[in-house]
Structure 1
Amino acid sequence: MTGKLLTPDRLPTEAELLAAPEDDYMSPRQLAFFRALLLRERDALLDSAHRTTLHLQEFESPADPADRASLEEDHTLELRVRDRERKLLHKIDEAITRIDNGSYGWCEESGEPIGIARLLARPTATYSIEAQELHERRRRMMGG
Structure 2
Amino acid sequence: MAGVLSDEIDVLAKARRAMPGDYLPSEDEPYMCEAQQDYFRRLLLEWKKSILSASENTLSALQEGPIREPDLNDRASSETDWSIELRTRDRQRKLIAKIDAAMRRIDEGEYGYCEVTGEPIGLGRLIARPIATMTVEAQQAHERREKVSRDN
Normalising by structure 2, what TM-score? 0.80
1:98 maps to which of 77, 83, 105: 105
State the alpha-carbon separation in 1 of the partners of residues 33 and 80 from structure 2: 47
Aligned to 1:69: 76
Aligned to 1:18: 26
Structure number, greater radius of gyration: 1
1:132 maps to which of 128, 131, 139: 139
Aligned to 1:7: none
Once superposed, which parts of structure 1, at least 4 consecutive aligned residues long, lie more than 3 Å away? none
Once the two structures are aligned, what percentage of the paired residues are identical?
46
Give 3-state SS (helix, strand or coil) of 1:123's partner: coil
State the alpha-carbon separation in 2 of the partners of residues 19 and 119 from structure 1: 12
Assess if the C-alpha contact under 8 Å between 1:110 and 1:131 holds in 2: yes
Cα 1:11–1:115, aligned 2, differ >3 Å: closer, same or farther? farther
1:39 Cα deviation from its structure 2 partner? 0.7
1:135 Cα deviation from its structure 2 partner? 0.5
Aligned length: 131
Aligned to 1:35: 41
Normalising by structure 1, what TM-score? 0.84
Which 5+ residue runs of structure 1 have no aligned equivalent?
A: 1-9
State the alpha-carbon separation in 2 of the partners of residues 88 and 37 from structure 1: 14
1:12 Cα deviation from its structure 2 partner? 6.9
Assess if the C-alpha contact under 8 Å between 1:11 and 1:33 holds in 2: no
Give the letter for the 2:120 counterpart. P
Assess if the C-alpha contact under 8 Å between 2:27 and 2:123 holds in 1: no
Aligned to 2:59: 53
Which 5+ residue runs of structure 2 have no aligned equivalent?
A: 1-19
CA RMSD of aligned residues (A): 1.7
Assess if the C-alpha contact under 8 Å between 1:12 and 1:29 holds in 2: no
State the alpha-carbon separation in 1 of the partners of residues 84 and 61 from structure 2: 13
Assess if the C-alpha contact under 8 Å between 2:113 and 2:121 holds in 1: yes
